[in-house]
Structure 1
């Protein structure tokens, strides 16, 4: 898998309106779901009780927390883009986030990204990225939204 390498505002600018790339697939395991439940103190049975989820749940199995899938963005984003000459990056916001489909245990997900816009704010680059978390062999994504990052490049 090849990264796009960015070193400046001008590097970002050439990708406005274009696909930045797609990450590798990442499997969602029950262990990962359980650890996320522990970390967030969200132990709802649809996530953590496989037997009950199979018998009573609407999905036929346990599902990943929506926020677990969202928390994978940094890991998957790093597979798409490599930013050099960077002093600091800040997650600035998420716009129009929609969880469209549940991610079942053992599903595989990947991130696809398209650069919506980039603005130079007195040396800080504000990048708005359309993202979609795709579920392998599913038509509907787990989520869609616009991630907003602030990149502070070295002078």
Structure 2
């Protein structure tokens, strides 16, 4: 994990990679829980038998929004700013689901600092997170996430 001393050090890294998370496995249990909480119980996610028989993927796949919901966990292991007192998720500018994530797959995030703007007592940072899928050249998801970080 890359540890930055302060926001000035972060600002100097615009355009550079901030870190790469560890691989994490996507389980059917995660998919079921996410489906139940969100009400997205489409069979391609929730029914392994039907998915094996009828899905072009031959197995269940993770919800795209499940993958996005893992961004905090992914980012947690990539970088930190020692002087930060608080960080707030400000939103997403762009999200693309570029490949399915079959159950049992491993994903990780590659984080690049795209933009940095000073604000009162902190900064607005935009990072591009590419969710890589182990064994695939094509990423599962690419998202721009916006944070407000306060010192």
TM-score (norm 1): 0.93
Measured in 2, the distance between the counterparts of 1:35 and 1:83 equals: 32
| Contact 2:18 2:112 (C-alpha < 8 Å) held by counterparts | yes
Measured in 1, the distance between the counterparts of 2:119 and 2:81 equals: 18
Residue 8 of structure 1: aligned partner? 6
| Contact 2:3 2:79 (C-alpha < 8 Å) held by counterparts | yes
Residue 50 of structure 1: aligned partner? 48
Residue 38 of structure 1: aligned partner? 36
Cα RMSD (Å) of the superposition?
1.1
Q: How many equivalent residue pairs?
A: 151
Q: CA deviation at 1:84?
A: 2.4
Deviations 1:81-132, CA, capped at 9 Å, x for gaps: 1232333211111112111011000000000011111110122210111110
Measured in 2, the distance between the counterparts of 1:106 and 1:85 equals: 37
Q: 5+ residue gaps in structure 2?
A: none
- SS of 1:102's equivalent? coil
Residue 77 of structure 2: aligned partner? 79
Q: CA deviation at 1:151?
A: 0.5
Residue 101 of structure 2: aligned partner? 103
TM-score (norm 2): 0.95
Residue 142 of structure 2: aligned partner? 144
Q: 5+ residue gaps in structure 1?
A: none
Residue 120 of structure 1: aligned partner? 118
- SS of 1:67's equivalent? helix
| Contact 2:7 2:81 (C-alpha < 8 Å) held by counterparts | no
Moved more, 36-45 or 104-113: 36-45
